[in-house]
Amino acid sequence: MSSWQTKMSQTYTGTYDGNEPNFYGIAFPAAFSNANAQGHFVFDNTQEDVTWDPTNQSQADLKVLAVAVGHRNDAATALILYFFAVKNGQPVVYVSQTTNGPQVYFQKTDNADLQNGFAKLYNK
């Protein structure tokens, strides 16, 4: 993530560095154990519960191994949220640019460098 964020001229706070990223008041990883947060994550137009599992030990269908939050290049106050996840045994990077409302909408990232880099780390 360090080299990727430098390449993108962006800076991220991530759970992978021992930090607790905050996305518009949603603190991670605490949000995963907060009953109020569950049921508010939408992935590719499907509401799903997710499991926080940085050690990748659970049998959950969708588990998040790491979270990163940073500012978008085009707006100093607009945040971008990444979930580095495993869905049905496959590594996937989800991104959200949701700015308000009770739901946080995610889609698979279009950034091939980020997706490929995560898959490479995951498959080591």
| pLDDT digit string, tens, across residues 72-124 | 766 667 899 999 999 999 999 999 998 877 889 999 999 998 899 899 989 98
- What is the predicted pLDDT for the residue at 63? 95
Which string of DSSP letters, residue by residue, matches 72-103?
Answer: -TT-TT-EEEEEEEEETTEEEEEEE---SSS-
State how far the Cα of 112 lies from the Cα of 115, in Å rounded to an integer: 5
- pLDDT of 78: 84
Rounded to two decimals, the pTM is 0.90
pLDDT recorded at residue 118: 92
pLDDT the model gives residue 81: 95
CB 84 within 8 A of CB 111: no
CA distances from 92 to 61, 96, 100, 108 (A): 12, 13, 24, 7
Mean pLDDT calculated for residue range 58-76: 85
2-61: pLDDT as tens digits: 666 666 667 788 998 899 999 988 899 998 887 666 778 999 999 888 899 999 999 999
